Chains A and B, each alone.
Chain A
Amino acid sequence: MDVLYFAWVRERIGLPKETIDTQAATVADLVTELRAREERYAMAFEDLSALRVALDQELSEFDAPLDGVREVAFFPPMTGG
């Protein structure tokens, strides 16, 4: 699946998008997998309360299942307007 990062999440991880092969059942499982990869991921996902997640471009929750999801995006709370 495609994983996208925005704003400071993108900066901490150092890339805007990557394709990941994963068996993670939920968003939280995917986060655990990413954290274990490298320090920069651990830093980006240090505090989940500071992060939001979208599944296939719809806002979602960290306990949501990844079944059939093609695009996951992680980003800080939005500051539009």
Chain B
Amino acid sequence: MEVRVQDIPFDFGAEAQSFAGRQSNMGAVVTFSGIVRDTEAGLGAMEIEHYPGMTEAQLTKFTQEAIERFKLGDALVIHRFGPLEPDEMIMMVATSARHRADAFAGAEFLMDFLKSRAPFWKREVTREGTSDWVASKDSDENALGRWENP
């Protein structure tokens, strides 16, 4: 299991390749990456703030939980903070399992918890220089409900 919170970019291809290469006897690897997308107002940059210490602790906790719950062989989470430009990768998760259903479910579980339970806050800065904190979505909070009954 590996959890990384960093301000520098990561190489998605190299990370995915390296993750898949470390697995043994796992029939499935699922990867997901989140990317900064443009907004209607025209996005200049995205700034991500986090709570050092708690972020790593929460991510480690969810990742451990995902591994146990979905019998994953392994899991990787990388999440950036600081200033990001449109089309840059914000984060990625990778999961491995003997079969694809568990690898997919583990990745979705991790994503749902990352969205609303990991202490990150996004701020969008327009090309004109005005900025606003991204509001949390009820749909993200509600998505956690589906994991309540193991």
Q: Please give the residue numbers on chain A whose beta carbons come within 8 Å of chain B beta carbons, in ascending order.
A: 4, 6-8, 54, 57-59, 73, 75-81
Contacts and interface: CB of A to CB of B under 8 A. Distances in A.
Contact of A8 (B57, B111, B133): B133
A6 B50 CA distance: 8
Interface in B88-135: 90-91, 111, 114-123, 133-135
A4 B120 CA distance: 14
- Interface-central residue, B111, B115, B121, by most chain A CB under 10 Å: B121
Contacts of B91: 80-81
Contact of B54 (A7, A73, A79, A81): A73
A79 B122 contact: yes
B133 A7 contact: yes
Contacts of A73: 51, 54, 119
Among A7, A59, A75, A76, residue most surrounded by chain B Cβ atoms (within 10 Å): A7
A4 B51 contact: yes
Nearest to A8: B133
Contacts of B90: 81
Interface residues of B, number: 26
Nearest to B132: A8
B53 A78 contact: no
Given A6-B51, A6-B119, A79 B57 contact: no
A79 B121 CA distance: 5
B120 A80 contact: yes
B34 interface: yes
Contact of A81 (B53, B114, B141): B114
A75 to B, nearest CB: 7
B119 A54 contact: yes
A8 B111 CA distance: 24
B79 A80 contact: yes
Given A6-B119, A7-B121, A81 B34 contact: yes
Contacts of B51: 4, 6, 54, 57, 73, 75
B24 interface: no
A8 B49 CA distance: 11
7 contacts: A4-B51, A7-B49, A57-B54, A78-B116, A78-B118, A81-B90, A81-B120
